[in-house]
Structure 1
């Protein structure tokens, strides 16, 4: 039996009140997971169509002749986020350089992102039968808080330490919720999971199978062999050794740390029905350690004299945030950056696999009553986070377009860089603000008592660092040394 200091325990199965379940068709019309797919799918469709419409008549011929061709999405100037600034925060809304035309680009792009997300989600809320008017009234405030987080992250000194927008967005929300309290009028726009699920489906379009093929077996060895070993080992360690009473907290921290950070944490939390406080705690740990590892790991790689590809694979397999992986890899050189980013993208593919496996395990073992029959496939399907299907579909579809279309790689890069990546960043930033607004330290304290979540993360990440280093050296430094060069 757990003591009070161990943190909150999970509710027993007898305490769970079963809600009437909707058919899959009804869920597709009303459920948040499905609407994340519809919203992201519409964005991807329009973004790709915009690039397609801008392709010049000589595009195909130029590609076939081997010429270097570049495209720019027509949406690029209409979708942006605040940029860098040094002394005056207002400079974040102006692109580098001078002139009236260039000066309005970032400012106009921020307004464009506000309008696109606001209109899209208001319509979605209305069609889902939710409080669309309440969302429309509260969304400008939540978007303003996300903008503030972006501006804080864009300050040159702060940016040099890679204290990214996710951390500032979380802090902005936490400051409000733990001082004056989150106003009730903001509640309709605090759509944490809706924002981040939509962003994750957009992320699927960036996870291209060609990236996997670029590194082949060495990349798969680092990303796909170590990750499940660390996840399972950390979960068992938390249950058997640390005896963490909340299995869902244990699983979310394990997935966050071993797979790919926040994205995996969100998907896993949905699969095991983790509490919002547990998700907030896991994300907080992830963001904190990401900053530390991003600074220290490149120094350790240089001190150990590791080859760039080995060091890059180590970074990609251990640092949680994709942006932090890129920054850390860049400090080692172009080769390390390419390997690190590719390994991380290969690892991102495991988001869907992890969510499915966790949902299956949770339904079959964790929540199975002793007097109940073994749950069937229908129960697993009901529990499975459906937005992951959108992530997988986007990855497969755009991987096919990337590989089969003449100039498909150029078009997709223009689409991602010109619109979808920017909107994905906004969705994530809004989600982190909402997480902060929903989180009160008094609710988190029970989870910190005894220090078990911190111990779990440190021990799990230590195992991850060790095994990933061994696998990276084995794959890139020994077995496939020539292929990695």
Structure 2
């Protein structure tokens, strides 16, 4: 066993045997702090929209280029929202890091530096041509990689590089937009496509990666499997936390996912047109196979309005699985993987509770509150308006996270992880299996030959 593998094994051993929960975790541990920060942003955003007493909108970079100048949107209002954004996130994350035990003097200037990089990411990704083909996540990682692999990450910036913290908060906020009513809109069709195919693909990729390719890094295998079958980067972080994936596991998974997401976003609509599958089947196929929600929307739109609606519904229903899968992975890794299958070493309920990503509970809670309290009380339009406000805070948190991933990415280390091309083989084989299985489910449910066609309406 290599020294690296020994170190990882020792780390896993410590995780299984020494960590316990305590009441202070509620205000000291990152998972719980992500929950509280997420709920604070959701609550303030909801109050702002419902009462109309103040504007809580974060800064948004509108598309520029193609006849319009970026400076047309730069005005007092834009700078005011940019200041509000950095103030809200800066205060919340600084307080969170203080509670975690990190020096405010070290974190705050580092956060401001990272936020400036995030502003650069939003600026570049809003350019008309780039915005049409690539998501901001690509540019966030690219800029981070350019810094880390050229001049290197300065020591003063490192305290702010906290990938998991930022994206946990982003996922918490995203939970409020995942309405369970989406299941009703598409009924058993969406459930059949998203909730039956997805677990099968994950199990297949786990078997193929660990048994056929014999990849030792099981955290990477399950993370890549979930990214392929659910929703790319969001699933990467949720399941990465549940399986204790390393930073490089996340970087490699996100890199592979983004590359193939771009390719599928561009070429899948073309192939669907050539084969004459139609908008309904084509849109559902895109929703079930393209990793990123944003890319799903773009690819669906390329086919037409019906395709876009079908794609978004399938992906939305699929996204609800993120929390359930993360919970299952946490239990599986605690009881089987890190336990090395030894029946003599039992993993108790307390250990499973400790390993469970707490922000996933917050994700569920936010979704339930939105679906069964906010919508009945204030109406779907008001909740939609709240989510329009929250969406930008979620995006800023994600930009901070993916820029951090880029800053932590070292090409030499990633090269070592490719293990003779096994990760790429795992993704390609898994995605092909995903496409075939999803197509079979989509054709069975939406061809009109076996079941009546649904009436789609978002």
Normalising to structure 1: TM-score of the pair? 0.89
Structure 1 position 23, deviation (Å) = 2.8
Quick check: 1:114 aligned with 2:86?
A: yes
Structure 1 position 106, deviation (Å) = 2.9
Structure 1 position 333, deviation (Å) = 1.3
CA, structure 1 residues 473+197, in 2 after alignment: closer, same or farther (shift >3 Å)? Answer: same
Cα distance in 2 for partners of 1:480, 1:74 equals 47
CA, structure 1 residues 320+15, in 2 after alignment: closer, same or farther (shift >3 Å)? Answer: closer
Alignment correspondent of 2:366: 394
Among 13, 16, 22, the residue aligned to 1:16: 13
Quick check: 1:151 aligned with 2:119?
A: no
Among 406, 410, 418, the residue aligned to 1:436: 406
Structure 1 position 432, deviation (Å) = 0.5
Alignment correspondent of 1:323: 294
Alignment correspondent of 1:340: 311
Alignment correspondent of 2:174: 203
Deviation string, structure 1 residues 40-66 (Cα, Å, up to 9, x no partner): 1001011111111129xxxxxxxxxxx
Cα distance in 1 for partners of 2:76, 2:23 equals 45
Cα distance in 2 for partners of 1:302, 1:327 equals 15
Quick check: 1:92 aligned with 2:70?
A: yes
Cα distance in 1 for partners of 2:437, 2:452 equals 18
Quick check: 1:44 aligned with 2:39?
A: no
Deviation string, structure 1 residues 139-169 (Cα, Å, up to 9, x no partner): 11101111111111111121222x1110000
Alignment correspondent of 2:55: 74
Q: Is the 8 A contact 1:309 1:484 kept in 2?
A: no
Cα distance in 1 for partners of 2:25, 2:138 equals 33
Residue 283 of structure 1 aligns to a residue in which SS? helix
Residue 216 of structure 1 aligns to a residue in which SS? helix
Residue 17 of structure 1 aligns to a residue in which SS? helix
Residue 12 of structure 1 aligns to a residue in which SS? helix
When structure 1 is superposed on structure 2, of 338-347 and 370-379 the one drifting more is: 370-379
Alignment correspondent of 1:378: 350
Q: Number of matched residues?
A: 453
Q: Is the 8 A contact 1:401 1:408 kept in 2?
A: no
Cα distance in 2 for partners of 1:477, 1:211 equals 21
Residue 418 of structure 2 aligns to a residue in which SS? helix
Residue 8 of structure 2 aligns to a residue in which SS? coil
Structure 1 position 108, deviation (Å) = 2.7
CA, structure 1 residues 480+131, in 2 after alignment: closer, same or farther (shift >3 Å)? Answer: farther
Q: Is the 8 A contact 2:375 2:383 kept in 1?
A: no
Structure 1 position 401, deviation (Å) = 3.0
Among 449, 458, 464, the residue aligned to 2:434: 464
Q: Is the 8 A contact 1:9 1:246 kept in 2?
A: no
Residue 373 of structure 1 aligns to a residue in which SS? coil
Alignment correspondent of 1:448: 418
Alignment correspondent of 1:135: 107
CA, structure 1 residues 136+331, in 2 after alignment: closer, same or farther (shift >3 Å)? Answer: same
CA, structure 1 residues 409+350, in 2 after alignment: closer, same or farther (shift >3 Å)? Answer: same
Q: Is the 8 A contact 2:147 2:153 kept in 1?
A: yes
Among 142, 165, 168, the residue aligned to 2:139: 168
Q: Is the 8 A contact 2:12 2:338 kept in 1?
A: no
Deviation string, structure 1 residues 11-39 (Cα, Å, up to 9, x no partner): 33697335853534221110000000000
Among 374, 380, 383, the residue aligned to 1:409: 380
Alignment correspondent of 2:190: 219
CA, structure 1 residues 232+249, in 2 after alignment: closer, same or farther (shift >3 Å)? Answer: same
Alignment correspondent of 1:275: 246
Cα distance in 2 for partners of 1:87, 1:340 equals 28
Cα distance in 1 for partners of 2:99, 2:357 equals 21
Q: Is the 8 A contact 1:118 1:139 kept in 2?
A: yes
Q: CA RMSD in A?
A: 2.2
Cα distance in 1 for partners of 2:71, 2:452 equals 46
**Unaligned runs of at least 5 residues, structure 1:** 56-72, 96-101
Residue 482 of structure 1 aligns to a residue in which SS? coil
Deviation string, structure 1 residues 411-463 (Cα, Å, up to 9, x no partner): 1111111x210010000001000011111111111111300000000000000
Deviation string, structure 1 residues 86-115 (Cα, Å, up to 9, x no partner): 2899x43643xxxxxx84333332222111
Q: Is the 8 A contact 2:21 2:354 kept in 1?
A: no
Structure 1 position 302, deviation (Å) = 0.9
Residue 16 of structure 1 aligns to a residue in which SS? helix
Q: Is the 8 A contact 1:218 1:480 kept in 2?
A: no
Cα distance in 1 for partners of 2:370, 2:404 equals 30
